[in-house]
Amino acid sequence: MPRSKDPWEPTILGHAILQLLSRNTASGYDLKGRFHGSVGHGWHAYDTQIYRELRNLEKEGFVAGRMAPGRSGPQRRLYSITEKGLESLEAWLTSPLDVTKMKDEFALRVWTSDLFPEESINTYLDGARSQWSEALAHQKMSLRVLTEEYGKPADSDDTVYGRQLAIQYSIAITEAKLAWVDEAQRIARRRAKARNRAARRAGEGDGEQAAGSGEAARPARAARSGPVPER
């Protein structure tokens, strides 16, 4: 008897899409814009991944799609969450999550800093600092816009305060990363100076040893040749 297939369940990206559709109906284009903006703070996704997951969600009955007039062009497909989608979203939100498990390529590379070519670790850290600084400015701007419109998280709209808390979380992490990169670069520079000093001392020692060997060789040659005979 053939085994029955396990029921298909939305991925984390799928649940992120369901979160958005639980608020409003949206087209794939609308969803793509949200992932490039505020939702991108918590889960980055490429356009092709979003559209592929959206098709799977519709095929499996988690969302329903219908054609609607476009805002200023051809028709577009609008998606709304179904009862099945809402049940799946609630189950996902309340499921256990091990926050100690994560994949971090940046940390994995730093773990082997000793294998970086000389001085390139600081270039790597400079790149991280630049990206985090840019991200922090964007996060603070996003939070400021929401706060100006809805007030602080304790007083804002029920559908907004969670977004504000999530952005505050991102800001705290990014600020901690920037503080860490300052310390990491201080350590890397200090170690580079120590290596340079050790290399100079080793070079000076080699030079003195070579000079000493030359001085010792001259008397030895003179002793071997002996006195010049008289004629």
**How does pLDDT run across 125-146, given as a tens digit for each residue?**
999 999 999 999 999 999 999 9
For 143-163, how does the pLDDT look when each residue is reduced to its tens digit (9 = 90+)?
A: 999 999 999 999 999 989 999
pLDDT at 231: 47
pLDDT-above-70 percentage for the chain: 84
The CATH number of 12-90 is: 1.10.10.10
Q: Where are the domains of the chain?
A: 12-90, 105-208
**Residue among 33, 72, 74, 79 nearest 53 (CA):** 79
- Stretch (H or E) spanning 120: helix 120-150
Lowest mean pLDDT among 48-52, 69-73, 156-160, 227-231: 227-231
C-alpha–C-alpha distance, residues 88 and 213, integer Å:
81
For 174-222, how does the pLDDT look when each residue is reduced to its tens digit (9 = 90+)?
A: 999 999 999 999 999 999 899 889 888 888 776 666 655 655 555 555 5
DSSP one-letter code for 67: E
- In sequence order, the β-bridge partners of residue 80 are 64
- How many residues in the chain? 231
- List the structure tokens of 204: 């000076």
The model's confidence at residue 41, banded by pLDDT at 50, 70 and 90, is: low
Phi, psi dihedral angles at 59 (to 5 degrees): -60, -35
**Packing angle of the helix pair 47-59, 12-21 (nearest 10 deg):** 80
- pLDDT of 1 above 60: no
User: What is the SS3 assignment for 148?
Assistant: helix
For 66-112, how does the pLDDT look when each residue is reduced to its tens digit (9 = 90+)?
A: 999 877 778 899 999 999 999 999 999 999 998 888 889 999 999 99
CA atoms within 13 A on the CB side of 140: 9
Q: Average pLDDT for residues 27-47, to the nearest whole number?
A: 82
- In order of 30, 114, 160, the CA distances from 192 in angstroms are 49, 11, 48
